[in-house]
Chain A
Amino acid sequence: MTEPIRITDELLRLALTPPDDGADFGLDVSIREALDRTEQRRYWWTPLVRWFGPLGPSRQVRVVGVLVALLGLLLAIAATVGTRPPPLLADGSMFHGGPARTGEMAGPGPVAGAEIVWSVSLAGPLRNSMPALVGGRLYVADGRGNVAVFDAATGAAGWTRSLPKPATSPAIAAGVLVVSAGDGVYGLDAATGTVRWHLPAAAPVESAPAIDHATVYVGLPDGSLTAVDLQTGTVRWRTSIGGAITRAPSVADGLVFAGGEGGHVAAIRAVDGTFAWRAEIGPGNVGTTAVRDGVVYATSGLDAEAPHVLFAISESSGAELWRFSAPGDRELYVGAIAERLVYAVGLDGHVYALRDGTVVWAFDARAPIGSVASLTGGLLYISASSGQVFALDALSGAKRWTVQLEGDAGPGIPADGRLYLGTDVGVLVALAEPAP
């Protein structure tokens, strides 16, 4: 007969403490030799031992240090943000308003009506060429290669510069005016018109440049989309999309979108020029792309006897979301993009307001519309080849006012209660509401 053992501390000590407890164990030779061979580890504070001692700063000092570092970081971020120049791309600083080419601008433009405030004659025509407006100065590039600057308030002329023809819609940022011309792309000093850099091309460059984050993006006739340093003109990357690029690229969300001859559309990473995706949207040329809210809009079949279609494409994947063809199958362009409406304009003389590919309203200008539109304050400004300029209610398509100009009117910039635009007979015009 046995009974369980009761475990007590005394029994545990008896069991686990050998009888020779207190055995001698000192720093014998082997330990000393091992220590002699061992170097003490160096820590990040080792060089600071003079101030903090061998164990480094105390916990309190470390906490304060981390807090100071965080505060410094926050201040640095705040300082960076605070000193960052205002967005390089104010509305009107480039073709179709900005790098995304939505056509939506800050405005305001004329609301109740319009009349000519001033007009000046240019040395060449403005065919679908849009002025650039920055700091109260209008920069114009005409079909004969002339680049000129005018005071937006009075129309008074400033400097002029002749480049190989033709020149297209300029873009301006950080004091550099970028113009595509007959033998390449130019970076001009916006204050003086002097050439700061020149990117040569073997054929006329028809693609209007886009500027985003101090980089110029422009399509070249050899089919390459090219990224250029705004200040120096140094090429950062060059990527061929497969066909001559004759329309303006657009930029949004770190991607550059461009279409070319052959129906190619590509999304290219702005950082390194690699492809995000490529798509084929049919024969013919592709118009200026525009992007908003994750959707890229592009029209196909330009300059060709081919179906003329407006495509809505996923910005992230390149997948088609929807498409639209006008009844007469004439050429279409992306006129402007609002929050949920896309305005297509066409050579059939119509403006189509589309929601997810479905026509919400249509307006007949009774003359081909070959220019992109401008959108601000709920008004859509349309220029037709008849020389008529329309202001339409963006929601309903109702006509608010119209003005007749001489020649084929180009796209306008609504700003300061005015609408600035040019015509193909070489006139630059400022429209404003009539005085009461």
Chain B
Amino acid sequence: MAHLAAGTAGELDRASELVLRAAGGDREAYDALIEPRLGRLFRMARAIVRDETLARDVVQDACVTAWRELASVRDTSRFDAWLSQIVVNRCRTELRRVGRRSVREIPMDQDSGAGSSGVAVAARPAPGPSLGDRVVEAEAIRRAFLRLDPDDRALIVMHHVEDRPVAEIASVLRVPVGTVKWRLSRARAALERALEAQR
């Protein structure tokens, strides 16, 4: 997966220049800066919030927030981390808001192909894996993922889905690398417990 944050020197220089121009009020520069990043941000948001409409709202809000606060970016090389931080924070806020508003439910994905029993999808039959087994397992993980809190979701998505290095996640979350490792470990344990709870 390509990462703009880890782009070439030329890409970084170009991005830095756009950040400076955009921070000075240049909308065209901002459009040029933000547009290539939207797809990735949307996918990250969608993976975290598990809702396409909500993810679109999150990214749109993040775009506006970033434009408004752009001059607060102290280091142009941190723009991507800063932008990701806005999206992640927005996701967490939305998930907490949704969580407060309603009892958490675990919807059945239409493409899961699983049976009607929640228990049946929580484990796979022995012995060997098959494509059908993997689909069932993926569905079980999706259901378990929905039981995680927003922070754990964001960490798992950034590290295991987006394949971001721990150091980059630490930069996004503005916490030490060791803290990210510890939180990741905790998030995986929470996911395992959620899976176990389905058995």
Binding site for B on A (CB under 8 A): 1-5, 7, 9, 11-19, 21-27, 30-32, 34-36, 38-41, 43, 45-46, 49, 53-56, 58-59
Contacts and interface: CB of A to CB of B under 8 A. Distances in A.
Given A34-B60, A35-B27, A55-B73, A27 B34 contact: yes
B25 interface: yes
Q: How large is the interface on B (under 10, 10 to 19, 20 to 34, 35 or more residues)?
A: 35 or more
A54 B126 contact: no
Q: Per DSSP, are chain B's interface residues mostly helix, strand or loop, or mixed?
A: helix
Nearest to B160: A12
Contacts of B64: 31, 34-35, 38
A15 B160 CA distance: 11
Contact of A3 (B56, B59, B124, B192): B124
A41 B59 CA distance: 19
Can you list the 4 inter-chain pairs with the closest CB atoms, starting with the nearest?
A2-B123, A54-B23, A15-B141, A15-B138
Contacts of B46: 18
Given A25-B39, A39-B68, A40-B68, A15 B31 contact: no
23 contacts: A1-B125, A3-B124, A4-B199, A7-B188, A7-B192, A11-B137, A15-B141, A16-B145, A19-B111, A21-B43, A22-B43, A25-B39, A27-B35, A27-B38, A31-B64, A32-B31, A34-B63, A35-B63, A40-B69, A41-B69, A43-B71, A54-B20, A55-B73
A26 B38 contact: yes
B123 A5 contact: yes
Nearest to B39: A25
B106 to A, nearest CB: 13
B42 A12 contact: no
Contact of B126 (A3, A12, A31, A39): A3
B138 A31 contact: no
B172 interface: no
A22 B38 CA distance: 11
B60 A2 contact: no
Nearest to B141: A15
Contacts of B138: 11, 14-15
Contact of B141 (A7, A27, A30): A7
A348 B195 CA distance: 99
User: A5, A38, A53 — which one has the most chain B CB atoms within 10 A of its CB?
Assistant: A5
Contacts of A53: 20, 23-24
B157 A16 contact: yes
A25 B139 CA distance: 25
B86 interface: no
A56 B59 CA distance: 27
User: B27, B71, B123 — which one has the most chain A CB atoms within 10 A of its CB?
Assistant: B71
Contacts of B196: 4
Contact of B20 (A18, A27, A55): A55
A29 to B, nearest CB: 11
B72 interface: yes
Given A41-B68, A41-B69, A23 B42 contact: yes
B67 A5 contact: no
Contacts of A22: 39, 43
Interface string B6-38: 000000000000011001110100110011001
A55 B22 CA distance: 10
Given A35-B67, A41-B71, 16 more contacts: A3-B124, A3-B126, A5-B122, A5-B140, A7-B188, A7-B195, A11-B134, A13-B160, A16-B160, A17-B47, A23-B42, A25-B39, A34-B63, A36-B27, A46-B71, A54-B24
Contacts of B24: 49, 53-54
Interface string B43-79: 1001100000000100110011001111111101000
Contact of B74 (A9, A27, A49, A55): A55
Contacts of A7: 141, 188, 191-192, 195
A5 B23 contact: no
B88 to A, nearest CB: 15
A328 B137 CA distance: 105
A5 to B, nearest CB: 5
Contacts of B191: 7
B153 to A, nearest CB: 9
A22 B188 CA distance: 26
B161 A16 contact: yes
B30 A35 contact: yes
A9 B42 contact: no
A9 B158 CA distance: 11
B156 interface: yes
Contact of B23 (A24, A32, A55): A55
Given A4-B123, A40-B25, A25 B68 contact: no
Contact of A13 (B19, B63, B140, B161): B161
A223 to B, nearest CB: 62
A386 B60 CA distance: 98
